[in-house]
């Protein structure tokens, strides 16, 4: 029996998938740089919000189907599908955020997440058994599974691999993949109503879809409010720590930016002095990296990652706070998510409104240049070349 769809419910289901993906991946990215209880809370929030987005998309997508007989949904398969979704997606996020975003790690996470989405879909479809017999097309089942696994891997790689603008892109990719998997699978579904028709539900599909969507948005918003980091909590703890003592036994002073928080923006006060060190965290302990050793800084939600040419270190400061502490004569903000050490620039490529900077180090490090900063960066690099000559 052919199945038609309500266009506005289809769009609502896609919006739910993208919104759930955005919130879930936000927590997954933050969990990669967190520790202890906060990391566990972020991983739990990522699993629940992402699974909620997947499940509500699936449920609203089912409500979008228009069939010429009453539909009654079984409660047990509905709840079981959500439970499976949370467990398997949580395992995928844990695998992806447990270490560096290598291809085997991202591949394992993609398999977990993709199979979780597929399992949730077909368990959830069992809710229709009370009113109809279902026959699935085997090729479309395989296509839906392949789409879910491949797109989940791409989304995780974009989110955790450090690409610029990765979070919105990842959320859209993953949301479209979830929706595409659902509608690919349902396009191969044939329904045959049972002789004894089910009793029509008390709520219309449209009203039920609106209720589910409102609850999903409220739950995701609640998680964002509960798990949003305190902007001053971690920096204050770091600033209270003492820098490591060098081998000669003399503690090296850490010169902080002076005047950054003065009234009137520091007008009339002493000139701002650049920090000689930036706080980073290693194995749960705070240490200080010399500013001269920094090659680049990358924003990661409310925190940053500092690259010293050999490794990337977690820093509890936001990219704006790091920029205030660094010497503007040596460092430049080339993108809203990236700061580079101008002296460590090894090459640059500009093509119209886009640009990429290559930085020197034991590992090659590439940084995008935003369109509005290309002229400024070109001028600084030209001045650096002229000074070298």
Whole-number Cα distances in Å, 20 to 43, 145, 158, 287? 14, 20, 16, 36
Q: What is the 3-state secondary structure (H, E, C) of 238-265?
A: HHHCCCCCCCCCCCCCCCCCCCCCCHHH
Q: Along the 389 residues of the chain, how does pLDDT read in single tens digits? A: 556 778 888 899 899 988 888 888 778 777 665 666 777 787 788 888 888 888 888 888 888 877 666 666 677 877 888 888 888 877 777 777 666 667 888 888 888 888 888 888 888 887 777 677 778 788 888 888 888 888 778 767 766 655 444 577 778 877 888 888 888 888 877 777 767 655 555 566 667 777 777 887 787 777 767 766 544 444 334 333 444 444 444 444 444 444 444 444 444 445 557 888 888 987 767 888 888 889 999 988 788 999 988 888 889 888 888 888 898 888 989 888 899 998 888 888 887 777 888 888 777 788 888 877 888 888 888 766 666 65
- 0.75 surpassed by pTM: no
End-to-end CA distance of the chain: 77
**Please, are residues 298 and 323 in contact by the beta-carbon 8 Å criterion?**
no
| DSSP 8-state symbol, 127 | G
Task: Say how many C-beta atoms besides its own lie within 10 A of residue 348's C-beta.
Answer: 17
Q: Is 274 exposed, middle or buried (0-12, 13-18, 19+ CB in 10 A)?
A: middle
Q: Which regions of the chain carry the CATH code 2.40.50.1020?
A: 237-388
The answer to whether 307 and 297 have CB atoms below 8 angstroms apart is: yes
- Let me know: does 164 contact 339? Beta carbons within 8 Å: no
Q: What is the dihedral of CA 288, 294, 300, 302, to 10 degrees?
A: 50
Q: How far apart are CA 279 and CA 79, in angstroms?
A: 46
Helix, strand, coil % in the chain, rounded to nearest 5:
55, 15, 25
Cα 211 → chain centroid: 27
**The two structure tokens encoding residue 5:** 């769809």
DSSP labels, 268-323: TSPPPPPPSEEEEEETTEEEEEEGGG--EEEEETTEEEEE-SS-EEEESS-HHHHH
> Which CATH superfamily includes the segment(s) 237-388?
LytTr DNA-binding domain (2.40.50.1020)
CB 33 within 8 A of CB 230: no
């Amino acid at each position: 029996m052919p199945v038609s769809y309500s266009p506005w419910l289809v769009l609502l289901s896609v919006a739910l998938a993208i919104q759930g993906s955005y919130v879930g991946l936000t927590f997954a990215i933050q969990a990669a740089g967190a520790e202890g209880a906060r990391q566990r809370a972020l991983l739990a929030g990522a699993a629940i919000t992402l699974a909620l987005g997947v499940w509500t998309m699936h449920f609203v997508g089912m409500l979008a189907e228009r069939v010429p007989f009453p539909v009654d949904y079984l409660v047990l398969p509905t709840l079981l599908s959500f439970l499976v979704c949370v467990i398997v997606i949580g395992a995928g996020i844990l695998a992806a955020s447990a270490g560096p975003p290598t291809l085997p790690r991202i591949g394992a996470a993609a398999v977990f997440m993709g199979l979780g989405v597929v399992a949730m879909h077909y368990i959830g479809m069992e809710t229709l058994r009370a009113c109809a017999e279902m026959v699935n097309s085997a090729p479309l089942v395989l296509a839906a599974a392949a789409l879910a696994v491949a797109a989940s891997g791409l989304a995780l790689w974009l989110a955790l691999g450090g690409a610029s603008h990765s979070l919105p892109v990842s959320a859209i990719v993953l949301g479209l993949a979830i929706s595409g998997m659902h509608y690919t699978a349902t396009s191969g579904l044939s329904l045959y109503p049972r002789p004894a028709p089910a009793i029509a539900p008390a709520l219309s599909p449209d009203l039920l879809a609106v209720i589910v969507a409102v609850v999903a948005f409220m739950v995701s918003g609640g998680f964002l409010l509960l798990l949003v980091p305190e902007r001053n909590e971690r920096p204050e703890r770091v600033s209270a720590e003492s820098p490591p003592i060098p081998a000669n036994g003399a503690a090296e002073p850490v010169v902080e930016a002076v005047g950054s928080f003065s009234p009137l923006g520091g007008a009339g006060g002493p000139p701002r002095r650049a920090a000689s060190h930036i706080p980073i965290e290693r194995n749960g302990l705070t240490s200080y990296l010399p500013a001269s050793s920094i090659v680049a800084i990358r924003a990661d939600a409310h925190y940053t990652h500092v690259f010293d040419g050999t490794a990337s270190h977690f820093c509890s400061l936001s990219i704006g706070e790091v920029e205030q502490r660094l010497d503007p004569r040596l460092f430049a903000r080339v993108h809203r998510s990236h700061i580079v050490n101008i002296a460590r620039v090894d090459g640059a490529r500009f093509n119209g409104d886009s640009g990429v900077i290559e930085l020197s180090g034991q590992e090659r490090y590439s940084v995008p240049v935003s369109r509005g900063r290309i002229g400024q960066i070109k001028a600084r690099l030209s001045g650096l070349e002229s000074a070298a000559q």
